[in-house]
Amino acid sequence: MEHALDITLTVNGTQVSRRVQPRQHLVDFLRDELGLTGSHTGCEHGVCGACTVRVDGEIVRGCLMLAVQANGCRVETVEGLSDSGELASLQRSFHERNALQCGFCTPGMLMAAQDLVRQKKKLTRDEIRTHISGNYCRCTGYQAIVDAIEEVVNGQS
């Protein structure tokens, strides 16, 4: 029997403390313990990007990081970025360009795309494709997703 561990972290600006099993993954902690189900679990081994969250400012795969590794960290999820308005431009662009169908990949895709937006650099479509190459979409064929990201990334002054 593994010993549970106490962790304290900041999630979307709020400090939370919980007792967790050492093998619980961060994405499962966010979903099951905190009810933040916007981060999805797909492959659960670091391939599909559905679980993408931000930890101390960097995007990470929530299925590859343990909850205990996030102890003391600042975690941001798609809910937090959406509530703060940080994702507003991308959300509008995805909506206008029909850059989602089933929507399963969308939270992770938005998190990865926002990482590009924050860099405030003009990018080619190839550069955008490379950046989101770790985020799988089974529905759209990616064209509309790249269009939506390109509009926001290259439309910034």
Binding site for ligand FES (CB under 6 A): 41-44, 46-51, 61, 63, 100-105, 137-140
The nearest distance, CB 105 to ligand FES, in angstroms, is 3
Rounded CA-CA distance 117/84 in Å is 15
Cβ distance to ligand FES smaller for residue 114 or 140:
140
Q: Least CB distance from residue 153 to ligand FES, whole Å?
A: 19
- The DSSP line for 74-94 is EEE-HHHHHHHTTTHHHHHHH
Residue among 26, 135, 25, 41 nearest 90 (CA): 135
Strand order in the sheet with 52-55: 14-20, 5-11, 74-76, 52-55, 58-61
* Comparison of 4 and 46: residue with beta carbon closer to ligand FES: 46
Q: Shortest Cβ distance from residue 118 to ligand FES (Å)?
A: 21
Identify the DSSP state of 31: I
CA separation for the pair 133, 129 (Å, rounded): 6
Residue 15 Cβ vs ligand FES, minimum distance, rounded to whole Å: 25
Closer to ligand FES by Cβ: residue 86 or 104: 104
CB of 54 to ligand FES, least distance (A): 14
What are the residues facing 55 on neighbouring strands? 58, 75
| Residue closer to ligand FES, measured from CB, 13 or 110 | 110
